[in-house]
Amino acid sequence: MTDVQPLRRTLPRIPDRFAAFGALLIVLIVLAALLAPWLAPYPLDEPRPLERLQPPDAAHWFGTDQVGRDVLTRILYGGRTSLLIAGAVLGVSAVFGVALGVVAGYAGGLLRDLIMRITDVFLAFPALLLSLALAVVLQPSVNTVILAIAVTWWPWYARLSASVAASIATRPYVDAARCLGVPAPLIILRHVLPNSLTPVLVQLSLDAGGVILTSAALSYLGLGAQEPTAEWGLMVQQGQTLFTTNWWVVTFPGLAILLTAFAFNVLGEGLRNALDPRRAVK
Amino acid sequence: MTLLRADRVTLGYGRHAVVHDVSLDITGGGVGLIGESGSGKTTLARAFLGLLSPMSGNILYGDQTLKKADLRKFRKDVQPVFQAEALDPRMRIGGSIAEALPRAARSRVPDLLEQVGLDPELAARRPHQLSGGQRQRVVIARALAVGPRLLILDEPTSALDVTVQARILDLLESLTAERLLITHNLAVVERLCRTSYVLFAGRVVESGPTSELLANPAHPYTGALRDAVPRLGGPPPEAGVRTEAVPAATGCPFRLRCPLAVPDCERAPELRDLRGRQVACHRAEDVLSA
Amino acid sequence: MIEVRDLQVRYGGRLVADVPQLDVGAGECVAIVGESGSGKSTTLLTLLGLTPDAEISGHVRVCGVDVLTASPRALREIRGARAALVMQSPQAALAPATRLGTLMSRALKLHGREKVDQAKALEAVLLDPGILRRYPHEVSGGQAQRFAIALAIALGAEVILADEPTSALDVTVQAEVAGVLRGLRAERDLALLLVSHDLALVSTIADRVLVMKDGAVVESGRAAEVLAEPSHPYTRELLEALP
């Protein structure tokens, strides 16, 4: 193979640059959220009724909302909530889904069938509907949003990692470990899990945008974060009636959602291309 | 008493059998299992390693079936040497070998690497930083770590350059463990195995002393395999058989490819003793005298 | 049909193939022998202008066209029709969702050779015309390889460049494909350039051999002579390595 290796250099490296661009954007967004207390021009909760619905100007770059709060400040703080939701949902889904999926994929047979049927049950519910039901039963709050979305999200990770793990389980190095008498849990931890993670990683970054959009949708429906918590979806919901008259109240948080979802997607696509085994450069 | 043998095993996945009623003794001096892709040779290897349970028949370890045997002892006695891809791509070489050793004996990793002719420094590398030949040596070192009495070698050299292959064969020849060698390469079998089994479509069609089989094949398929291998400066190799035809479902599986097939071949031939070997062919006598 | 003089192929300044002279005439078979990293495949790809990133010097003529200076159009002309490349695993190169027959018809149309008798080309490689109705995954490795060769014949190839055409195949199938190549060369006056690591196979088919190591040609000459009385230590090593 060494003979043709140099040919690979002719392939464009654009996907990796894409990934880097997405990663940079995400770092900026996360930094902005983390540093909100220092970056924000105004305190988080300081309604100034006299300055309500100001259009963007030098004092309020993104304008103010219906109770006179600085929109930029709320977007910066809102990023914390939205990113927290995305992180928590994906963290819970990935840990739970991958754990079940890897076991199912490696074990095969009855255990796999059992786990996959459970997964199918969860997949059968429309995600938004299940989230809606949960959010109605429980009190609407950020935690409810996280729980509701995670419940509908983990099965995808279980499915993905089960199919990856099933293929890893047939690799000669797994057979070799079995022939050495290594116990199954150790084989899963040492060989199957680490070698199954790449596609999960890609899926995580592709999904982050989706989770943020879903949480925004739940908040928008009034089932998520509640006032006075700053959250992008909630901001869009509360500003929607003002769109024609005071466009900035709804447009800027909407753009924040869009930009973040976009950044994660770009990173995910880039990662997918860069980590594609068919393109793996040794 | 041989360490490991197959007693009329039928193997498969789901309900689909790919190896039919095969008996095989792993005797001293090396045993070769020769077959082309789809012959079931790798499936048979997996059964010998306890990775696949027979649909019928038994794998016997000593005088016990594998199901009842002491698996810990079995794992120490029987080890696989797969192709060089049998290393976890994410694990360092040292880690891969150490996996075979009890915690207290991990210090033996450098010794094992030296034993297979590798620099102990390589322990810190990952598989992709090694050449194909080096990786194959690591795979052998890991198998040797538990001190096995039998190695099951599945195409151990077929992915390697010829000069590298020659050195790996030297290494394998120098090992004291018994061996079952699975390959499509007749020259390798000739060198490493005193006894051979030829597998076609999941059935043993001929078995006996390797030198005898290759010098005077009694089954047309053994002959076809031999004549298909190009020899240096020799005559052009010949397929001699119709490679298109799929194995026949009834009767002799080879009959659709066989240049000697007669109507009688629609009746499945049994393995029978013939001049120091076993062969499953109605026309074995004609093949031998040809 | 192939004429190479002082060919040097470099990647980022590193010399990966250095071939002072290589000629393949009609009806002749020349083999480049070497192990991985020897530069044998790079040499073959360069002959078809398939190493766009490399720095190349020297002269390469294939079917009378100067490959190194030819226009992309002229290159396509040679590559598609007059000089055919046969790879190790042709299945990977066949569009998976297209029947072999469709594939062949399209290729013929592209080169204005609709009138060619497809069955005859298939017959030359011992394939049943029924194979045209199948999809690439429905044929065996040996069939796919012979189909690739049949396609080359139908397109009127005068030169076949084969890169390890048999090494992924079972031994009986290897013999068959090798036999097909040998037969064509004799019947159709094809020029055959074979890249292989298999000295034994090469000895049964090639008129002349070039032995390459680390990018350099270490020995070349008539196959029978080189293999019987190798003058370079590396050739001897290769021969001794045969099990």
Q: Which residues contact A204 (CB under 8 A, 6 or more apart)?
A: A90, A94, A268
Residue B84 — very low, low, confident or very high, per pLDDT cuts 50/70/90?
low
**Pairwise CB contact (< 8 Å): B244 & C143:** yes
Q: Does residue C87 contact residue C93 with C-beta atoms inside 8 Å?
A: yes
Compute the average pLDDT of residues B46-52: 94
- Say whether pLDDT at A281 is over 50: no
Of B79, B85, B99, the CB nearest to A172: B85
Sequence-ordered alpha helix ranges (H) in chain A: 14-34, 36-39, 71-107, 109-124, 127-137, 142-168, 172-179, 184-187, 193-220, 232-239, 248-275
Lowest-confidence pick of A96-105, A130-139, B167-176, C102-111: A130-139
CB of A6 within 8 Å of a chain C CB? The answer is yes
CB C29 within 8 A of CB C183: no
Q: Are the Cβ atoms of B243 and C240 closer than 8 angstroms?
A: no
For residues C114-135, give the mean pLDDT: 86
User: Across residues B255-276, what is the average pLDDT?
Assistant: 91
- The DSSP letter of residue A223 is S
- Give, to the nearest 10 degrees, the angle between helix C100-110 and helix C141-154: 20
Helices A248-275 and A193-220: crossing angle, nearest 10°? 170
User: Which of C140, C197, C243 shows the shortest C-beta gap to B166?
Assistant: C243
Is the Cβ pair C37, A3 closer than 8 Å? yes
Which one of C170, C175, C201 has the shortest CB-CB distance to B238? C175
Contact (CB, 8 A) for C7 and C60: yes
Q: Which residues of B touch C171 (CB under 8 A)?
A: 36, 184-186, 225, 228-229
pTM: 0.82
Are A3 and C40 in contact (CB < 8 Å)?
A: yes
Q: Which residues in C lie closer than 8 A to residue A10 (C-beta atoms)?
A: 52-53
Tokens of B127: 């598989």
Please state the rounded mean pLDDT for residues B165-169: 89
* Cα torsion B178, B55, B154, B277: sign: positive
Out of A2, A6, A7, name the one closest to residue C36 (CB).
Answer: A2
What's the pLDDT tens digit per position in A219-269?
A: 878 787 887 888 888 888 888 888 888 888 889 999 998 999 889 888 888
* DSSP type of residue A91: H
- In terms of CA atoms, which chain B residue is nearest residue A194? B90
Percent of chain A with pLDDT over 70: 91
Give the mean model confidence (pLDDT) for residues A7-24. 64
Rounded to the nearest 10 degrees, the angle between the axes of helix B220-228 and helix C171-188 is 60
> Is-contact A249 A229, C-beta < 8 A?
no
In the block, residue with structure tokens 């390798």: B188
What residue in A sits closest to C14 (Cα-Cα)?
A6
Compute the nearest-CA separation of C184 from chain B (Å). Answer: 14
Q: Give the nearest chain A residue to C17 (CA atoms).
A: A3
Condensed to tens digits (0 to 9), the pLDDT of residues C49-76 reads 888 888 899 999 998 888 888 888 888 8
- Mutation for testing the A interface, residue in B49, B78, B83, B88 having most A CBs under 10 Å: B88
Distance of alpha carbon C108 from its chain centroid, rounded? 20
User: How much is the pLDDT for A13?
Assistant: 52
| Chain B residues lying within 8 Å of C35, measured CB to CB | 161-164
Is A282's Cβ below 8 Å from some Cβ in B?
A: yes
Distance from CA of C32 to the nearest CA of A (A): 13
Peptide bond before A228: cis, by omega within 30 degrees of 0? yes
Per-residue model confidence as pLDDT tens digits over C205-217: 899 999 999 999 9
In chain C the first and final C-alpha atoms are separated, in Å, by 35
ipTM over 0.90: no
Judged by a CB distance cut-off of 8 A, whether residue A3 touches chain C is yes
Token pair in block for residue A225: 């974060």
Q: Mark yes or no for CB contact A173/B78 under 8 Å.
A: no
Q: Give residue C141's pLDDT.
A: 83
C92 vs chain A: nearest CA distance in angstroms? 13
Summarize pLDDT for B204-234 with one digit per residue, the tens. Answer: 999 999 999 999 999 999 999 988 888 887 7
Contact residues, C window 9-28, toward A, CB-based 8 Å cutoff: 11-12, 16
A12 in contact with chain C, both atoms CB, cutoff 8 A: no
Which residues on C lie below 8 Å from A13 (Cβ)?
Answer: none
Please judge whether A3 and C38 are an interchain contact, meaning their C-beta atoms are less than 8 angstroms apart: yes
Task: Determine the distance from the C-alpha atom of residue B68 to the mean position of all C-alpha atoms in its chain, rounded to a whole number.
Answer: 25
pLDDT greater than 90 at residue B11: yes
